[in-house]
Amino acid sequence: MSSENYRKVSTITKEEYEKYGINRDFLLDSYKKMYLIRKLEEKIEYLYLVRGLLMGPAHLYNGMEAIAIGVTKALSKGDLIVSNHRGHGHAIAIGITPYQIISEMLGFSEGAQKGLSGSMHVAIDPDAGALYSSAIVGSQVPIAVGAAYAFKYRKLDNVVAVFFGDGATTTGALLESLNMSRFLKVPLYLICEDNDYAEYTNIDYTVGRSRITSMFTSFGIYTEEVDGNDVLSVYRSIKDTEELVRGQKNPVAIHAYTYRLSGHSVTDPASYRSKDEVEKWKALDPILRLKERMLKEGFTTEEELSSVEKSIEEDIESAVNEALKGSPMSIEDAIKIGDP
Domain boundaries, the chain: 3-324
pTM greater than the 0.85 cutoff: yes
307 HSE (CA, 13 A, CB side): 6
Per-residue pLDDT tens digits for 168-204 = 999 999 999 999 999 999 999 999 999 999 999 998 8
**What's the CA gap between 220 and 189, in Å, rounded?**
14
CA 328: distance to chain centroid? 28
Report the candidate in 239, 258, 236 with the shortest Cα–Cα distance to residue 9: 236
Closest of 204, 205, 127, 120 to residue 163, by C-alpha: 120
Closest by alpha carbon to 320, among 60, 53, 98, 95?
98
| Polymer length of the chain | 340
Please say whether the beta carbons of 196 and 262 come within 8 A.
no
Position 4 scores a pLDDT of 78
Taking 70 as the pLDDT cut, the residues of the chain under it are 1-3, 338-340
What is the structure's pLDDT at 10? Answer: 95
Report the distance separating Cα 189 and Cα 193, nearest Å.
12
Classified as helix, coil or strand, 8 is strand
Contact status, residue 193 vs residue 67, Cβ threshold 8 Å:
yes
Task: Please say whether the structural domain 3-324 has been given the CATH code 3.40.50.970.
Answer: yes
